[in-house]
Structure formats: structure tokens, C-alpha cells
Structure 1
Amino acid sequence: MSVPPPETAFFATAVVETAFLIPLYPLLGAFFSLLWVPGLISRTGPRPSGYINLLFNLVAFLHSLGAWIAFNGTPLTRSLPWLDTAGLSIRFDATINTPVLIAMTMICGIHVLAQVYAIGYLEMDWGWPRFFGCLSVFEAGLCALVLTDSLFFAYVVLELLTLGTYLVVGTWFNQSLVVKGARDAFLTKRVGDLILLAGLVALLPVAGSWNINELNAWAEQATPSPPLTLILLALIAGPMGKCAQIPLHLWLDEAMEGPFPSTVLRNSVVVVGGAWVLLRLEPLLSVSPTVQAVLVIVGGTTALVGALIALAQVDIKRSISFLVSSWLGLLFLAVGAGAGETAWQMVLVYPLPMALVLLALGTVVSSNVTQDLTQLGGLWSRRPLMGIAFLVGSAGLVGLPPLAGFGALRAMTASLADSQAPLLLTAVVLITNGLISAALVRVFGLIWGGRPSVFTKRSAEVLWLMVLPPMVATGLVLHLPILIHRAGYGEEWGPMALPLLASTLLGITAGSLLYLFSTEHLPKLSGPLAGLQEWLAADLHTEGLYRRTVVGLVAALAAMSSWIDGALVDGFSNRSGDLALEGARRLSLSTTGRVQAYAFTVLVGVVLMGLWILTRHTPAFLSL
């Protein structure tokens, strides 16, 4: 075995030890974008801001990739003090290990592809500085999230990502739907963030630390109790909101009103940020069986219901957004069932295939005047490369060998054998996998299958900048099993491989018969099932339910508070003021301008005050 030269070894060590600085690269790109935001630089137009952000993101990707290659397996830790007062010590703890480097490489790589894609997608747009700057902030936040070992700073980063979602979704803020989508995304995620903050504050006096490694070590000796269970339930609320799990799932489809490159990033890597925090806390959450049961129920429900809702959607973006929630629901189920190692593999497998699916669909949205699935079709003769890219990305998400999604789902089904309800949970995974397969084939059939419609007959070609990223991502998805195996994941076929493959083929067959080879463009269910289809298409009328319950309760409380403020608080103050003004007005009538009258008034006042004093305090000489 050859020994590397000292210069090479020194360079490799330096690359790994400076990997803590990777989040600073995109932050610098976002900072330089500020020069174009208020028009400080106007002669060049806004395009240089995008190129500068792309350059810094490329440097971040190369640094993270080099650190992953040069990493020798020994974790590196750093701890920087941030606040130390009154017995409260808050430090920014960070760790470099193999999963962190893989995650940062994935984050930075997908951001590079998305920003190249955005240069073509937003060619005629003037909002480059704000948009590209926000994308770089996303990248910096996600890299910091995977680096940090501090639960407190993980919460801070999640809050910044929530703000970033609001800014990116609201890029085209002159459109009412965009404003509504940005607002709903911000408020819905804030619900989970606030509950997470409550659990974060309550956890410190119980566990004595916010360091995630110390919390997991403390969990080994901790015993479940009702207060601890409530705290742990609060901790999973934040990841539920970030991963769009029921009932905090409404924001994801509305957030797709923003530019499509931001949708690619949000649905592939940003949503996984919540899953990353959940997985880091998995040893702590396993202390409470109640919390694990809640994770299984939430994940299983979201997986099944999300896939069913996706099958009934007619909007391209909405159909994919519910599949995102469904797939991440399987991850929540794995964490709740105690399959933490499998969940880590799922986190590493998911982002790249989903990004590829969205990159392919973005070319369709960009080159057609509609994103209604019922009005598309026949694009295989005009967009075969994008159709192939979509199929490869879809195959990477479901249980279809030899791609990485098959290995992750097979490992998950195998790990469920040790759970408390192996048959039920395995059935949920297999059914969800079949439904996701059918939903993806449905989208492919309605866009690329059939005959061209009036909207696709003259579908224009997209710029090469929008074709290059999907082609690169296609090659990466095909090679992802090799990369995952190099990271230490991936096993041989097990007893659950054939049932998983059968569920995938069943879903593909059903989707093909209904939507790819069907004479009807959108098969309609008949009889009682028609109502079910409409119910699923309307997202179970969840928004209306929220409006009648949560929003209605808040509105009633606001109305009652307004009445109390107006009738009691303001009423008392206003009445007191009116009485004072009336008294002053009446006293003003006694003003005559004569000194005798003023002297007489003072004399009367002195006499009355003296009588009052005498009646309350009798002098000692009078009491003898």
C-alpha cells in the first residue's frame, strides 16, 4: 500500500478540518447579492448576482465532496461559546462525520443543479438578486443544520428556513395566490416551530443540556414519565411541520406557487431538514413508547392518505407535493418503529431522485401554458429525454431494483419484523409503495402518454440550461446505489424483496392500465366511489375543516377580546375621561374673575377640610 506524500496528506487533512466553514460559502454569495437588490449596481442588470451565487455554491460543493473523499472516518468536533450567563451556557457544537459530509455534498450538489436550472427558468425575470440570495441562504442553513450538535441552534436554523420559505415562495409577490401560499407556509410551519420551542425550553431543566449527543446519552438512563412524554411530543412537532405530515401538511402544495427551482429544492432537500433533526433525536424519542406510537400513527396515516390524495390531483405540483408527504411519512413510521438505521438510509436516498422528478416536470411547466394534467399529453414525441429523466427519478423513489430506493425500502420492511405490529406496518409500507408507483405512472401517462393536446402540440423547446441539470441528475440517480454502498449502506436481497417488488409492479401495472393505455384521459370513478374521488381531490376538505375549527376558534377568541377591550377596558377609560371633562366644564362656569369669589371658595374649602379632619381624627385634648 502506497503512502501519500506529506503535501497530499496535509491538504486532505486541511480540507476535512475546514469543512466546518462550508456554510459560509453560500452566505457570502447571498451577501454579494445585496449589491443588486436596492440597485446599487444597476448597469450590469441582475444576472451577475445569479452567477456569483452559483460560483460560491460550486465552491461549497467541491469542498464538501473533497472532504467526503479525504475523510478517514475519525469524527471531528468543534464547540464555540455563544452565551454564558446566570448559569445558562449555550454553545454552538458541531461534528464532522461520514453522514454529515454525505448530506452536505448532497445539499450543495442539488443546489448547484437547481441554480443552473434557475438561470434558464428565470431568464426573463428581474428578481434574480432576491431569489438567488434566498436559495443560497437555504443552502447555508441546511449545511449548518446537519453540522450542528446543538438542539437550540438546530431550532434557530429551522426558524431561519421557515423565514426563507416565506421569502422564496413570495418571490412573485404581485400575485394573490403566491402571497397566500407564502403566508400559509409561514404560519403552518410556525405552529410546529412554536411547539418545538416549548419542548426545547422544558427539556433543559430535565436533561441539563441541549447538546444532542449528551441528550442521547442521558436517554439511556432516563425513564418514561408523563412530563417527559409531553416534552418529547413537543419536540416532534417541528419535524412534523417541516416534513408536511398530517395535520401540518397543507403548506407544501400551496408553497409550490413560487418559482419552480425553489420547488425543486424545497421538496427534495429542505423538507428533509426536519427529518434530519428527528433522526438525530431518535435515541431520545425512543424513551417514550407513546411518542413512538404517535410517530407510527402520524407517519403511517400520512403515507397512505398522502398517496391516495396524490392519485386524485389534477395539478402537477399538487400531485407531487402529496407524494413528498407520503414518502416522508414512511420515514416517520420507520423512526417510530425503532428502525433508525434504515431511516438514515432513506434520508440519503430520497433527495436526488425527487429532485430529478421535479427538474423534469419543471421543463413541462415552463414550456406549456398550463400545469393541469387533464390538458396535457403526447409529450413523449417532443420531450423524450425529460420523459426518461422522469422515469429514472420515479424508479429511484419506489421499490424497483437495482436503484437505491429499492434497497432503502427493502431494508425498512426487513427492520419492521422486530416491531410490535410487523404484519400491519409491513402492509402499510407495501401498500404505500404500490400507491406511489401508481401515482408516478399516472403523472407520466397524463403528460407524456397519449396524443398531443391543444396545449402540447406547439410546446416550445426549453433552454439547454434547463436540460443539462436533469441529464446530470439522471446519471447520478443511476449510480446512487454505488455511492450509497460506499457510504456503508445496502444489503443483499432478503425475504421481503419479492413482496416489495411485487407491490411496485402491481402499482405500475394499475397506473399504466388506467392512465397510460386508457382511452379516457382521466378515468372517473362511478357510484359511491365518485364521492371518494372528489373527497380526495379536495384534500379531504382539510382546509375547510381548519377554517371551521382552528380558524373559527381563533376568530371567536379575537372577537371576544375585541369586545372586552372596547366595552370594558376602553369603556371604563372613556367614561372616566368623559366624567372628568364634564366636571371641568361645570367648574369652569364658576369662574367670575372676582378676587372675593376666589377667596370665598378657598375659605369654604379650608373649612370643609378642617371638618373632615376633625371628624376622622379627634384631638387628644377634646377626648379628655
Structure 2
Amino acid sequence: MTLFFAQTAWLVPLYPLLAALVSLAWSPGFIWKTGPRPCGYFNLTMVSVAFAHSLLALLAANAHPEALPLHFGWTWLQTAGLSIGFDGSITQPALIATLFVTGVHVLAQIFAIGYLEMDWGWPRFFGSLSFFEAGLCALLLTDSLFFSYVILELLTLGTYLIVGTWYNQSLVVKGARDAFLTKRIGDLILLAGLVAILPVTGTWNFGAIASWAAAQTPGSLPLSQELILLALVAGPMGKCAQIPLHLWLDEAMEGPLPSTVLRNSVVVAGGAWVLLKLQPMLALSPLVTTVLVVVGGTTALVGALIALAQIDIKRALSFLASSWMGLLFLAVGLGDPTVAGHLLLVYPLPMALVLMAVGTVIVSNVTQDLTQLGGLWSRRPLVGLAFLTGAGGLMALPPFGGFAAIRELLELCSASSQPLLLGGFVLVTNGLMAAGLVRVFGLIWGGRPSVFTRRSAEVLWLMVLPTLVLMGVVLHLPILLARYGVFATTPLLGWGPQAVPLLVSTLLGGGVSAVFYLRPHPLAQLPSALGGLQHWLAHDMNTENFYQRSVVALVVGLARLSSWTDHQLVDGFTGATGEAALQSARRLSFTTSGRTQTYTLTLLIGVVLMAAWLLTIVPTTLLR
């Protein structure tokens, strides 16, 4: 395989970017006689070209491993001693991640053609999806922290556009606004850290930053630099929906489901990619690593708990996405980027498969309320098997890749300073995630048919085909990972220390959930005495109300104080001063008599007073 495709991998983001730009011709209606469909087909063609180029580049890189990494770049701005350039690095992990991103986008856009068959907003939606893909591929290939921030900002804009696709609905507008503002908080803090870190390291290049970090002594950084590193963590926290910047992912579920497939699988992983690039520098600060462990462990456990109480399908799965990303943050905090990379590697495809499977249910059954579904196993066994395949990849169940990655994390926790606490977090989180996935499966495919599912119609093959193709990829993913030496194969994929307790937690969590939800059990709904607990979890532990009463109330109070100060003090002082000047001028005007001797006397008195002041004050000043 020629190395040409690997050397030109920087072209991959340009294919979907071109599709997004061409979509602008359809979106405002410049091209209207063709209808919206040609725009969607053009976007699908260009993302397919990007996928083909990514695949050929990865094959070429594997055929010539000695040629990697390949570097490219160009200067974007050079002035006053400051040089900012787009530095890129083509590595095997970057090519694998690019292949995942482009592959999921191809399947998601085919899925979207069926899902949005009767929708007229194709140009705006498909153009936004291609814009998303271009940003993600550029993020994977860039080797610059500055341009990583720029691309993350563009992805925030893309989130706003995609979530707000159906902008004539009030909940959609609120979801797009809240998602944009919540992610902007992390982006602004990241910008502050980005500006502050340049004088410290002298570069924004990830490779140079890693070299700088290797020359430092861990734990020797001053507090100011540790705070800068904390600011750099805020950006990935927002993108990966980690507590306390996690509310946006829940709000973003108001968008069409094909965008949810991409957002929950590959978009949230974009922030984790930046975090992995920064890991050599973050490992220098015990404060930062402790924050990563606390945030990651808390989000993993709390996200899995909240998912168990959700009745909306997409929201139940979105909190599981936050929970998985929490495990990745935990691995980075414990100082092992390899384990974190494995967690990132095995996550996107199973999550995309799970969402595609439930998407075929949502589009044909009107509702996405879990309590109104059920009994679909006899009508939709294939997509039910697809859901189970994706669920197996997201829990610690051998031989799926998720088991190997979570087992490595559990082993890492066992070797930490708090093995019981952190290991317990991982085991409980894994059990809760298994319970949450089995709960969703049981409420949709188990039990008896409801009013909404009794006459459940078949969906278009355009939705079933990509779902089943992705199921085949997920089933073969462990084999591919073992072939390339990512995980061991004996006796099972990734089997090793801590495997038995991890498998027990999966079977326990999934088994208990199956008892309650495959054939609905009365205890599946908590008794009235504990109903408040379920309500509290269902409403995200009232986090939004807490923010309204604390952060939002503080900002509103400060704004009102500023408004009162400006109105009463600033405007009052200037207004009173002006009014006093006008009144003085008015009174002075009454003293105008027109007599020359009066004016001369006034001038004479002024000169005498000025002379007296000079004779009194100036000599005293000179003596000092």
C-alpha cells in the first residue's frame, strides 16, 4: 500500500468541510428547484470519500509503520514575535480515531436519510453534520493546543446549530441555548489557561509541551501553574459532560436522533482526546490529578445512578455516556494514558449502535417514553439483538472490548493509593451501567405490548441497514483489537487480574435489572415512601435548581446591584452635578446688570484674592 494516502491524510477534514459549505447554497433557498434531497446525498458522498481516504491512510500506515509519525503544518499568524501555526501530526492512533469518526458519520447520515424522510430541513441538518465531522477530524490531526481550542469552539457552535434544528419548538430552543452556554463556560476557562500557559512552556505544540513536561519534576510546580493546568482541564470537562458542566448533554437530546448518535459517541470523545494530549503536563500536578479523579469518579457513579431513574430513552443513554467518560477521566487522573486510550477506543461504536437501535423504535412508535413502550421483541428482534450487542460493548462483559478496558481500569485502581475506594467506585459504576442498559432493553423489548407498540410499524431499510452493519463491526471489534495487539486474547479477550469481581458486578447489576424489567415487577417502581428518591434522581438530583439558586442567583444579584449603582450613584451623581451647574448658571445670570464699574470691581477682587493666595501658598511650598 502506497504511503501517499497517509501523507495526505490532512485532506480528510476538507471533504466534509466542502460539503458543509456547498450546503449553504440549499439552506437559504438559492437552490430550490431540486428540493432538499440532493444536498443530503452530496453530503453523504463527501463523508464517504473521507471514510475511504481514512481507511486507505490507516492501511498505508500499517504497511509502513517506520514512516510514522508524519508531521505537517503552516504558519497562520506571525507578528510582534508571536508565531501561531497549524501543526499537524499523523499517527496510528489519530488515523484509527479518524476512521471511527468518518465511519460513524457515514452510517449516521444514511440513518438520517430514513429518519428525516419527511423533513424539509435537510440542507441545514446535513450541512451541520458535515461541519461537525470536519471539526472532529481536524481536532484529531492537529498538534496545536491553540487550534484545538479554536476547533472546540467551532464544535460548540455546531452543537448549537444541530440541537436547534427544529427551532420552532420552545424546548428545542431552550436545549440549544443551554447546551451552548454550558459548554461556553468550559471554553472560556480553557481560553484563560491557553493564554497563561504559553509564557510557561513557550509553545502550544503538544509534542513540545510533552517534552517540557518530561524535563520537570512531578509535584514541583508552583500553585499559579497548577491553577493554569486546572483551567486547561475545564474545556475537556465541558465537552465530556462531566460534573458540574454536565447539564448540556441532557438538554442536547432535543435534537434529531441522528445528531444524538454522533454527539454521544464521537463528539463527547473529542474533549477526551484533548485531555489525553495534555496528560503528560497534567501528571506534574497532584492537585490536578486529584481533581480529575474526584470529578471522574463522581460523574461515573452519579451519571449511572441518574440514568436508572430516567424515563426518556435518549436521556437515559446520555447519562450513561457521561458515566463512561467519567471512567476515562479517572484513568487520566491515575496517570495511565494507555488505559484511558483503551476506554476511548472501545466506546464510540457500541454507543452509536445502542442509539441507532433505539432510534428505529422512536421514529415508528411516536413516543420515546420508556414507560409507554414494551413487548417489541416479537416485532423487532434484529434491532433488539443490535441493542444487546452495543450494550455488551458498554459493560464489562467478555469477550467485548468494554470488559478488557474496564478491567484494566480496575487493575489500575487496585494499584493506587486508595484501592478499596476507587476499585469500589469502578465496580459499583459498572454494575449500575449494566443495570441501566438492561433496564432500557427490558422496558422496550421485554414485557407486554403497550398501546404505542401493539401496532408498531416497520421502519425504512435505510435505518435498519446501517444499524445491522454497525452491529457486525461491534461484534468483530474485539477480534480487530486483539489482532493489532491492543488486548490479550487468552483465555478471553483482555482477561487478567480483577476480572472475576468485575464480571460478578456486571452479572449482578444486569441480572437484578433483568428480574425487575424484562417482565415488569411491582418493585421496579419504588414504594411511595421512597418515591421522592426516584423523583430526585429523575430530575438530575435537582442540579438545575441548585444552579438557579446559587450561581444564577448570584449573577442576577450582582447584575441588579450593578444596575442600581449605575442608576443611583453614577447617573445620580452626574445628573445632580449637571443640575447644580445649571442652577448656578441660572442664578449667576440674574447678577448681570450691564454696569461696567460692577464688572471692574469683581475683576479687581478676583485679582486681589489670587495675589493673596500666591503670596501665602507658593512661598510655603518652596520652603518645603
Taking structure 2 as the reference length, the TM-score comes to: 0.93
Q: Which residue of 2 aligns with 1:6?
A: none
Q: Which deviations, in whole Å up to 9, do the C-alpha atoms of 1:54-90 show, x marking residues without a partner?
A: 1110100000010001112221011211222222221
Q: 1:466 to 1:583 in 2, by over 3 A?
A: farther
Give the counterpart letter for 2:565 in structure 1: I
Q: Which residue of 2 aligns with 1:284?
A: 281
CA–CA distance in structure 1, aligned partners of residues 612 and 502 of structure 2: 100
Q: Is the 8 A contact 2:146 2:194 kept in 1?
A: yes
Q: Which residue of 2 aligns with 1:469?
A: 466
The alignment partner of 2:165 has SS state of helix
CA–CA distance in structure 2, aligned partners of residues 260 and 191 of structure 1: 25
Q: Is the 8 A contact 1:339 1:412 kept in 2?
A: no
CA–CA distance in structure 2, aligned partners of residues 182 and 557 of structure 1: 26
Q: Which residue of 1 aligns with 2:606?
A: 612
CA–CA distance in structure 1, aligned partners of residues 597 and 180 of structure 2: 69
CA–CA distance in structure 2, aligned partners of residues 136 and 17 of structure 1: 23
CA–CA distance in structure 2, aligned partners of residues 407 and 549 of structure 1: 41
Q: Which residue of 1 aligns with 2:164?
A: 170
Equivalent runs, 1:325-364 vs 2, <5 Å: 325-364=322-361
Q: Is the 8 A contact 2:16 2:50 kept in 1?
A: yes
Q: Which residue of 2 aligns with 1:204?
A: 198
Q: Does 1:60 align with 2:50?
A: yes
Aligned match for 1:70, one of 60, 72, 87: 60
Q: 1:607 to 1:36 in 2, by over 3 A?
A: farther
CA–CA distance in structure 2, aligned partners of residues 316 and 420 of structure 1: 38
Shift of 1:554: 0.3
Give the counterpart letter for 1:509 in structure 2: G
Equivalent runs, 1:210-609 vs 2, <5 Å: 210-222=204-216, 223-491=220-488, 492=490, 493-520=495-522, 523-526=524-527, 529-579=530-580, 600=594, 605=599, 608-609=602-603
Report the aligned-residue RMSD: 2.1
CA–CA distance in structure 2, aligned partners of residues 21 and 485 of structure 1: 30
Give the counterpart letter for 1:498 in structure 2: V
CA–CA distance in structure 1, aligned partners of residues 474 and 342 of structure 2: 15
Gaps of 5+ in 1: 1-8, 591-596
Shift of 1:457: 1.2
Shift of 1:201: 1.3
Q: 1:601 to 1:130 in 2, by over 3 A?
A: farther
Give the counterpart letter for 1:495 in structure 2: P
Q: 1:487 to 1:156 in 2, by over 3 A?
A: farther
Identify which range, 525-534 or 565-574, moves more after superposition. Answer: 525-534
CA–CA distance in structure 1, aligned partners of residues 484 and 267 of structure 2: 22
Identify which range, 438-447 or 229-238, moves more after superposition. Answer: 229-238
Q: Is the 8 A contact 1:98 1:487 kept in 2?
A: no
Q: Which deviations, in whole Å up to 9, do the C-alpha atoms of 1:434-455 show, x marking residues without a partner?
A: 1101100000000111111011
Aligned match for 1:23, one of 13, 34, 39: 13
Shift of 1:136: 0.8
Shift of 1:52: 1.0
Shift of 1:275: 0.4
Shift of 1:203: 1.0
Gaps of 5+ in 2: 615-624
CA–CA distance in structure 2, aligned partners of residues 368 and 344 of structure 1: 38
CA–CA distance in structure 1, aligned partners of residues 288 and 315 of structure 2: 30
Q: Which deviations, in whole Å up to 9, do the C-alpha atoms of 1:19-59 show, x marking residues without a partner?
A: 01111111000000010111111111111111111111010
Q: Is the 8 A contact 1:82 1:91 kept in 2?
A: yes
CA–CA distance in structure 1, aligned partners of residues 553 and 408 of structure 2: 44
The alignment partner of 1:82 has SS state of strand
Shift of 1:619: 13
Q: Does 1:94 align with 2:96?
A: no
Identify which range, 104-113 or 608-617, moves more after superposition. Answer: 608-617
Q: Is the 8 A contact 1:338 1:419 kept in 2?
A: no
Give the counterpart letter for 1:25 in structure 2: Y
Q: 1:114 to 1:586 in 2, by over 3 A?
A: farther
CA–CA distance in structure 2, aligned partners of residues 62 and 409 of structure 1: 31
CA–CA distance in structure 2, aligned partners of residues 23 and 517 of structure 1: 47
Q: 1:613 to 1:368 in 2, by over 3 A?
A: farther
The alignment partner of 2:8 has SS state of helix
Shift of 1:579: 4.6
Shift of 1:417: 3.4
Shift of 1:185: 0.6
CA–CA distance in structure 2, aligned partners of residues 244 and 417 of structure 1: 26
CA–CA distance in structure 1, aligned partners of residues 86 and 613 of structure 2: 73
Q: Which deviations, in whole Å up to 9, do the C-alpha atoms of 1:334-357 show, x marking residues without a partner?
A: 111122101111111100000000
CA–CA distance in structure 2, aligned partners of residues 609 and 446 of structure 1: 97
Q: Is the 8 A contact 1:410 1:497 kept in 2?
A: yes
Q: Is the 8 A contact 1:196 1:234 kept in 2?
A: yes
Q: Is the 8 A contact 1:378 1:452 kept in 2?
A: yes
Q: Is the 8 A contact 2:515 2:521 kept in 1?
A: no
Shift of 1:225: 2.3
Shift of 1:609: 3.8
The alignment partner of 2:83 has SS state of strand
Q: Is the 8 A contact 2:160 2:179 kept in 1?
A: yes
Q: Does 1:128 align with 2:122?
A: yes
Q: Which deviations, in whole Å up to 9, do the C-alpha atoms of 1:550-574 show, x marking residues without a partner?
A: 0000010000011011111222233
CA–CA distance in structure 2, aligned partners of residues 577 and 301 of structure 1: 58
The alignment partner of 1:90 has SS state of strand
Q: Does 1:33 align with 2:30?
A: no
Q: Which residue of 2 aligns with 1:43?
A: 33
CA–CA distance in structure 2, aligned partners of residues 504 and 376 of structure 1: 25
Identify which range, 524-533 or 511-520, moves more after superposition. Answer: 524-533
Q: Which residue of 2 aligns with 1:193?
A: 187
Q: Is the 8 A contact 1:302 1:329 kept in 2?
A: yes
CA–CA distance in structure 2, aligned partners of residues 552 and 500 of structure 1: 43
Q: Indicate the percent of aligned positions where both proteins have the same amino acid.
A: 64
Aligned match for 2:173, one of 179, 189, 195: 179
Q: Which residue of 2 aligns with 1:3?
A: none
Shift of 1:421: 1.8
Shift of 1:155: 0.8
Shift of 1:170: 0.7
CA–CA distance in structure 2, aligned partners of residues 181 and 167 of structure 1: 11
Shift of 1:517: 2.4
Identify which range, 95-104 or 425-434, moves more after superposition. Answer: 425-434
Q: Does 1:105 align with 2:92?
A: no
CA–CA distance in structure 2, aligned partners of residues 180 and 464 of structure 1: 33
Give the counterpart letter for 1:284 in structure 2: M
Q: 1:30 to 1:588 in 2, by over 3 A?
A: farther
Shift of 1:610: 4.8
CA–CA distance in structure 2, aligned partners of residues 250 and 220 of structure 1: 36
Q: Is the 8 A contact 2:142 2:148 kept in 1?
A: yes
Give the counterpart letter for 1:518 in structure 2: P
The alignment partner of 2:377 has SS state of helix
Q: 1:573 to 1:433 in 2, by over 3 A?
A: same
Q: How many residues align?
A: 603
Q: Is the 8 A contact 1:25 1:57 kept in 2?
A: yes
Q: Is the 8 A contact 1:37 1:130 kept in 2?
A: yes
Q: Is the 8 A contact 1:188 1:241 kept in 2?
A: yes
Q: Is the 8 A contact 2:435 2:510 kept in 1?
A: yes
